[in-house]
Copies of this chain bind each other. A is one copy, B any other.
Amino acid sequence: MKRKLRYGMIGGGPDALIGGVHRVAANLDGQLELVAGAFSSDAGRSRRTGKELFLDPKRVYDNYEEMAKREKDLPESERIDFVSITTPNYLHAQMAATFLTHGFHVVCDKPMTLNLKEARALRALVRRTGKIFGLTHNYTGYPMVKEAREIVRSGKLGKIIKIVTEYSQDWLLDRIEATGQKQATWRMDPELAGMSCCLGDIGTHAENLSRYITGMEIHSLCADLATLVPGRKLEDDASLLLRYRGGAKGVLHCSQVSCGEANNLNIRVYGTRGSLAWRQEQPNELQHAVKGGSTRMLQRGSSRLSAQARKFTRLPAGHPEGFIEAFANIYLEIVSAIRAKIEGQQGTFDFPTVEDGVMGMAFIEAAVESSRSDAKWVRLDGV
């Protein structure tokens, strides 16, 4: 295939944050072309964004239903290959369903849906349509996260016995939702965000990251969700004790009100023969301690890393890659999967799927249930 893939975007209009991130990530490697969009529920704002993005005005739509329908009617050589959904949570399920049923592949932001029931329904639809569905748990796109997974898989850590995962931020330390700040307003509204704010917004990233690296699933959890800034309907802080299948223990804590923390996602994986530590804010490094030995600082770009880590790196060591590059790695794999699908080829691709979305929603529901029942241990069964 000798062409760039074409995609459209829902959401990502003026004042949006994550839509713009999707776009630069999609731009980076020159594999994709943004050709259509319904960037806002306000048609005028959608058109303004389309213009800024140099889009053909005919392909800037007033709403996503129209977009799905009209793109489907375009000749195959023009219409989008997939859509990227970057709207608030409550819209994900219906938008994804619409595009899937109109024959498009879908990239969707997280958390996947409003609740576990929706998530399972979406999974069923993805399976039925056979379309590619990518969920942007973007932190798994970092090369050193992939290196971490390879180290775990290699057995170098021995048996994993303890996992500590944290995701701390402070952007909700003030009640900015009360002043109309857009990102905060919908995240703190149960109608739009679902049953959780902190867990949905960042806790699921932490859960996904620990599962991606270790391959281990949570058996049961015991949670304490808190609204530390008074007046909110949803939690802005959550602490969890975890028991993984196989016997490992875990702590996972996340907060949106931890003053001074910008985007402090970090994980430590302790095994019987070694450990790993990775911090998202210094993503080019991975610390690997070997039992009875010294601690090694592994650098992205090193020729000694695993093939999987090297595959997702663009620059030599010492030339920092960041958040956008990791996000772009998710897109690269989704693009590869779509190309393979178009060309009728098989392949294994490394990106978060609808299964991850279901797991994430199950995690949130279990945590909310545990916290409401005063920290009862809740099992994550039958996902």
Contact = CB atoms under 8 A, between A and B. Distances in A.
Interface stretch (A127-135, A273-281, A341-349, A359-367): A273-281
Contacts of A271: 259
A313 to B, nearest CB: 11
A58 interface: no
B222 A241 contact: yes
B270 A255 contact: yes
Interface string A318-335: 111111110000000000
Contacts of A39: none
Q: Can you tell how many copies of this chain the complex includes?
A: 4
Interface stretch (A59-67, A73-81, A188-196, A285-293): A285-293
B283 A259 contact: no
Interface stretch (A21-29, A82-90, A92-100): A21-29
Given A263-B319, A322-B325, A302 B291 contact: no
Interface residues of A, number: 93
A306 interface: no
A314 interface: yes
Contacts of A51: 2
A283 to B, nearest CB: 6
B228 A324 contact: no
A368 B53 CA distance: 48
A274 B170 CA distance: 10
Contacts of A249: 224, 226, 228, 237, 239
Contacts of A374: 377
A184 interface: no
A181 interface: no
A372 interface: no
A295 interface: yes
A54 B301 contact: no
Interface stretch (A103-111, A116-124, A161-169, A208-216): A161-169
A169 B54 contact: no
Nearest to A250: B239
B275 A259 contact: yes
Contact of A173 (B261, B272, B277, B287): B272
Contacts of A259: 157, 270-275, 289, 291
A275 B169 CA distance: 12
A16 interface: no
Nearest to A277: B260
9 contacts: A2-B51, A24-B314, A161-B228, A161-B257, A171-B316, A173-B272, A257-B270, A259-B275, A315-B324
Given A262-B301, A294-B299, A295-B299, 10 more contacts: A3-B54, A17-B316, A20-B314, A23-B30, A24-B30, A222-B222, A261-B275, A262-B318, A284-B322, A320-B323
The 7 closest A-B pairs by CB, nearest first: A260-B289, A263-B318, A262-B318, A320-B322, A262-B317, A322-B322, A319-B323
